[in-house]
Chains A and B, each alone.
Chain A
Amino acid sequence: MTDDDRRGPALPSARGPLSAAVTAYLRGTGPLPAAEDAADAPPYGDDLQLALYVCYELHYRGFSGVPAAREWDPDLLRVRAALERRFLAALRADTPVHDSLDDALGALLVEPVHGTGVSHWLRDQGELWHLREYAAQRSLYHLKEADPHAWVLPRLWGRAKAAMAAVEFDEFGGGRGERVHARLFADLMNDLGLDTSYGRYLDAACPEALAVVNMMSLFGLHRALRGALVGHFAAVEITSSPGSRRLAEAMRRTGAGAAAEFFYDEHVEADAVHEQVVRHEVIAGLLEEEPDLAADVAFGIDATGHLEDRLGERLLDAWRAGRSSLRAPLAARETAPAPVP
């Protein structure tokens, strides 16, 4: 009997010395990187972000052939901590944080008349291949949608915990497996001819997409960052509803398919409720218990904006130049068509 994970995705290809050493260590074929090596790696670069992503993934589904016990390997955790310090220091230094939590929330609660973000662009001129790339990049999160936020539940009490659990219950399908949001996203990917296997697009994803998911895991796995996790979650829920409407319009206009439209239509309505609950219950409840966390909540909101802006620029730069935003372009159809009976 072995404790290796068998069903997880394959380990990704390395993107530099840190990710090469971490994946070799997990394969049992090489030593870990020295913790000092993380200290001068580019904090948002391919190599550090992938190495960190691989470390975090051991807390979710792991990788095929890697012992499940590696999740709590103290040497690996030491390396992960060095990667996290570098990433978090960059987030703290580079994020323009609002003066107050009210200002940070207020900036999200208005809509630009025109808008220049990725969802605006996709609504107005996105073609099917852009939507497929967008879904492949986002699949790193959406195939484990709401999982990183579940880590915060034991770190909240009372009103904040009850409300957070209620929103998570909704994200996890309200008790029905076929309505789990990760499952709805797999249905969207299927409409777009993408492979729905968990972790399938890790090799293809750009470092800006990895950084967004790494931030969630970082905030979720550290109790000390519970305020930032709540802020991050609020930012996602507040911006999701109007963004999802634009993406649903893009799916309709390009004829992407019924499940592709439904995923975003569902988020328009669900997240219009969630943002109210997160603001009035989760944030208010948390600050009632721990008023000192207000600055961390604001940091979580603004760090999310900072990393989402970087991802948006990366995607639009590529698409405006007619290039793929992925590290490996997609095949016309990523899965074999269903067999004809």
Chain B
Amino acid sequence: MPNAPCDPPGSARPDAPRRVRVQRLGPILVDGPVEVELEDGTTVRSDRFRVALCTCRRSRRYPWCDTSHRRRVQDPPS
């Protein structure tokens, strides 16, 4: 790639607002890395390129999503 002395137009700048994606059923998606402060005052970090934050409170890996928000269905007859 060519050397670029400055950021291309439209690229994320340090002062650009951070985009967060919310959905009715499912986690909040935010660009990583993130540091999350929990109710007990402790902080946890994730350095993934995108982080899925649990909103249903059912995750066993809270505050990270573990897909526990998914609807449960009866097993199909085998």
B-contacting residues of A (Cβ < 8 Å)? 109-116, 166, 169-170, 174, 241-242, 245, 268-270, 272-273, 275-277, 280
Cβ 8 A contact of A273, one of B52, B70, B71? B52
Closest chain B residue to A238, Cβ basis: B67
Q: Determine if A170 and B48 form an interchain contact, defined as CB atoms under 8 angstroms apart.
A: yes
Provide the residues of chain B in CB contact with A275, threshold 8 Å.
Answer: 67
Do residues A241 and B67 form an inter-chain contact, with CB atoms below 8 A? yes
Check B73 for interface membership: any CB of A closer than 8 A.
yes
A194: min CB distance to chain B, Å: 27
Residues of B within 8 A of A (CB): 21, 26-27, 29, 46-52, 60-61, 64-67, 70-76, 78
Q: Is the CB of B27 within 8 A of A270?
A: no
Instruction: Flag if A116 contacts B78 (CB, 8 Å).
Output: yes
B47 — nearest CB in chain A belongs to which residue? A174
Question: If the complex has contacts A166-B50, A272-B27, A273-B65, are A114 and B71 also in contact, measured as CB distance less than 8 A?
Answer: no
What's the A-B contact tally at a CB cutoff of 8 Å?
68
Closest chain A CB from B22 CB (angstroms)? 12
Contact B70 A109 (CB under 8 A): yes
Question: Nearest residue in A to B73 (C-beta to C-beta)?
Answer: A110
Instruction: Assess the A268–B78 pair: CB atoms within 8 A.
Output: no
Partner of B75, one of A116, A169, A277, A280: A116
CB-CB under 8 A from A116, the residues of chain B are 75, 78
The minimal Cβ–Cβ distance linking B69 to chain A, given in whole angstroms, is: 10
The closest CB in chain A to the CB of B21 belongs to A280
A241 contact set on B, CB distance < 8 A: 66-67
Interface centre among A113, A245, A276 (most CB of B within 10 A): A276
A174 to B47 alpha-carbon distance, docked (Å)? 9
Q: Is the interface of B mostly helix, strand, loop or mixed?
A: loop
Extra contacts, 9 of them, besides A112-B73, A116-B75, A280-B29 (Cβ < 8 A), are A112-B76, A245-B60, A269-B65, A272-B67, A273-B48, A273-B51, A273-B65, A276-B52, A277-B50
A166 contacts across to B, CB distance below 8 A: 49-50
* Contact across chains for B26 and A245 when beta carbons are under 8 A apart: no
A73-B38 Cα distance, complex, nearest whole Å: 59
Q: Determine whether the beta carbon of B64 is less than 8 Å from that of A272.
A: yes
What's the nearest-Cβ distance from chain B to residue A176, in Å?
A: 10
Complex Cα distance, B40 from A197, in Å, reads: 45
CB <8 Å contact, A268 and B66: yes
* Residues of chain B contacted by A268 (CB below 8 angstroms): 61, 66
In the complex, the answer to whether B75 meets A112 with C-beta atoms within 8 Å is yes
Tell me which residues across on chain B come within 8 A of A113, comparing CB atoms: 72-75
Chain A residues, CB < 8 A from B52: 272-273, 276
Question: Which one of B47, B52, B64, B75 has the greatest number of beta carbons of chain A within 10 Å?
Answer: B52
Rounded to whole Å, the gap between the CB of B57 and the closest CB of chain A is 15
Contact A169 B70 (CB under 8 A): no
B67 in complex: contacting residue of A115, A242, A277, CB < 8 Å = A242
Name the residue on B nearest A245 (C-beta). Answer: B66
B residues less than 8 Å from A112 (CB atoms): 72-76
Closest to A275 in B: B67
Interface centre among B46, B60, B65 (most CB of A within 10 A): B65
A279–B39 CA distance with the chains assembled, in angstroms: 31
